């Protein structure tokens, strides 16, 4: 479900591409300087090649959502989801973490993540809601610590410190009802003290109502964010006991940074490298670092014996 302007990367191709670029850069830079130490250009490419992005384990915070969890929030569960939960679907919450480990000096500008749930067809999982979403940017940009919670509509509510509520004057009107002081939050908290330490960023998120979801985050200094947490509520037919999940995440380097560091040998590079590098961030996916994982997730189920006893 990638947006049409941003296709999926080819991890093996990117690995080979960067290794070839390193060899060329190091060769031409060595001709300019007889030192055995790597030059600026070779160091930049080597650092990019050694930078990594990786998934955490989605089983870590995979939980079954039940009516009882929402009864404790005072508001309860809305009727439509109460009925679905009783008759047709089991609902789940899951956090998928992404860890970014750039080598010193490396700069990235875009992070993309795609999650694909299966089996497909009549029994396929359905993504109910995802976080982060673009409409929450005003809150996320503020850098305040917030409690991320699931409300009675199986959507997101946020609790923040009472001293910070008045400062958030740019919250869109449709979200104001979903922002409260931490001690007044009437929702099921799933990520306490969720923080997104970034400045100005752009975001696209897609997937609700489908079996795939996708995020694209653009931030000039995204390498400064060591961990990004993606939150998902999804549902499956009650008879489904396990699902497959395939995740792909990638980060694209800031091509202005890379171009500046290899400028002394740029004219000596092969034409294919020169052409791509001239395309700047449009070609950054060719230099991306990525991770692909597949999991079989056994879904937690309600304790039927205990439920019948009560």
> DSSP characters for 206-269?
E-TTSSEEEEEEE-TTGGG--EEEEEEEEEEETT--EEEEEEEEEEEE-HHHHHHHTGGGGGGS
Q: Give the number of residues written for the chain.
A: 310
Question: Do the domain assignments include residue 116?
Answer: yes
116 and 236 housed in the same domain: yes
Question: Do the domain assignments include residue 267?
Answer: no
Question: Do the domain assignments include residue 270?
Answer: no
> Which pLDDT does position 306 carry in this prediction?
41
Q: 44: which residues sit within 8 A by CB, 6+ positions away?
A: 105, 106, 257, 258, 261, 262
153 and 44 housed in the same domain: no
35 and 166 housed in the same domain: no
Domain residues for 30?
Answer: 12-50
Q: What is the pTM for the complete model shown? A: 0.89
44 and 135 housed in the same domain: no
125 and 67 housed in the same domain: yes
> Which pLDDT does position 1 carry in this prediction?
56
Question: Do the domain assignments include residue 241?
Answer: yes
Question: Do the domain assignments include residue 175?
Answer: yes
Q: 20: which residues sit within 8 A by CB, 6+ positions away?
A: none
> Which pLDDT does position 244 carry in this prediction?
98
> Which regions of the chain are under pLDDT 50?
305-310
CB 125 within 8 A of CB 236: yes
pLDDT single digits (tens) 273-292: 999 999 888 889 999 999 99
Q: Write b or e for each residue in 57-95: b if 16 or more Cβ atoms lie within 10 A of its Cβ, otherwise e.
A: ebeebbeebeeeebeebeeebeeebeebbeeebbbbbbb
Query: CA-based diameter of the chain, in Å?
Result: 80
Reduce the DSSP state of residue 292 to 3 states and report it: strand
175 and 90 housed in the same domain: yes
31 and 162 housed in the same domain: no
134 and 238 housed in the same domain: yes
72 and 145 housed in the same domain: yes
CB 96 within 8 A of CB 249: no
> Which pLDDT does position 144 carry in this prediction?
67
> Which pLDDT does position 36 carry in this prediction?
66
In the chain, % helix, strand, coil (3-state, to 5) comes to 35, 35, 30
Residue 127, φ and ψ in degrees, nearest 5: -75, 120
Q: Say how many domains are in the chain.
A: 2
> Which pLDDT does position 150 carry in this prediction?
93
Interatomic CA distance for residues 115 and 214, integer angstroms: 6
Q: How many CB atoms lie within 10 A of CB 272?
A: 12
Interatomic CA distance for residues 103 and 295, integer angstroms: 28
pLDDT single digits (tens) 123-138: 999 999 999 998 888 7
72 and 43 housed in the same domain: no
Q: Which two tokens stand for residue 285?
A: 């996916």
Question: Do the domain assignments include residue 1?
Answer: no
18 and 61 housed in the same domain: no
> Which pLDDT does position 59 carry in this prediction?
96
Q: How many CB atoms lie within 10 A of CB 50?
A: 13
Question: Do the domain assignments include residue 193?
Answer: yes
Q: Rg of the Cα trace of the chain?
A: 23
> Which pLDDT does position 255 carry in this prediction?
93
> Which pLDDT does position 143 carry in this prediction?
65
Q: 293: which residues sit within 8 A by CB, 6+ positions away?
A: 55, 246, 247
> Which pLDDT does position 182 carry in this prediction?
81
> Which pLDDT does position 3 carry in this prediction?
59
Question: Do the domain assignments include residue 268?
Answer: no
20 and 84 housed in the same domain: no
């Amino acid at each position: 479900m990638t947006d049409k302007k941003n296709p999926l990367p080819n991890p093996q191709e990117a690995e080979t591409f960067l290794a070839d670029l390193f060899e060329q850069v190091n060769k031409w830079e060595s001709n300019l300087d007889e030192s055995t130490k790597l030059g600026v250009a070779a160091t930049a490419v080597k650092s990019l090649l050694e930078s990594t992005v990786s998934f955490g384990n989605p089983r870590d915070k995979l939980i079954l959502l039940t009516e009882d969890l929402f009864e404790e929030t005072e508001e309860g569960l809305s009727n439509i989801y109460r009925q679905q939960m009783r008759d047709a679907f089991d609902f789940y919450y899951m956090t998928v973490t992404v860890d970014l480990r750039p080598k010193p000096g490396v700069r990235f500008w875009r992070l993309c993540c795609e999650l694909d749930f299966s089996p497909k067809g009549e029994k396929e999982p359905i993504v109910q809601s995802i976080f982060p979403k673009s409409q929450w940017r005003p809150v996320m940009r503020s850098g305040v610590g917030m409690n991320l919670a699931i409300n009675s509509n199986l959507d997101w509510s946020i609790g923040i410190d009472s001293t910070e509520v008045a400062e958030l004057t740019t919250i869109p009107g449709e979200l104001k009802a979903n922002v409260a002081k931490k001690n007044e939050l009437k929702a099921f908290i799933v990520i306490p003290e969720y923080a997104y330490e970034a400045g100005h960023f752009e975001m696209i998120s897609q997937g609700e109502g489908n079996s795939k979801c996708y995020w694209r985050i653009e931030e000039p200094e995204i390498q400064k964010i060591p961990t990004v947490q993606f939150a998902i509520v999804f549902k499956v037919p009650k008879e489904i006991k396990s699902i497959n999940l395939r995740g792909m995440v990638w980060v694209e380097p800031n091509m202005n940074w890379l171009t500046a560091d290899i400028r002394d040998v740029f004219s000596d590079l092969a034409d294919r490298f020169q052409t791509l590098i001239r395309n700047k961030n449009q070609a950054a996916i060719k230099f991306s670092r990525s991770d692909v994982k597949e999991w079989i997730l056994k879904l937690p189920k309600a304790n039927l014996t205990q439920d019948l006893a009560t």
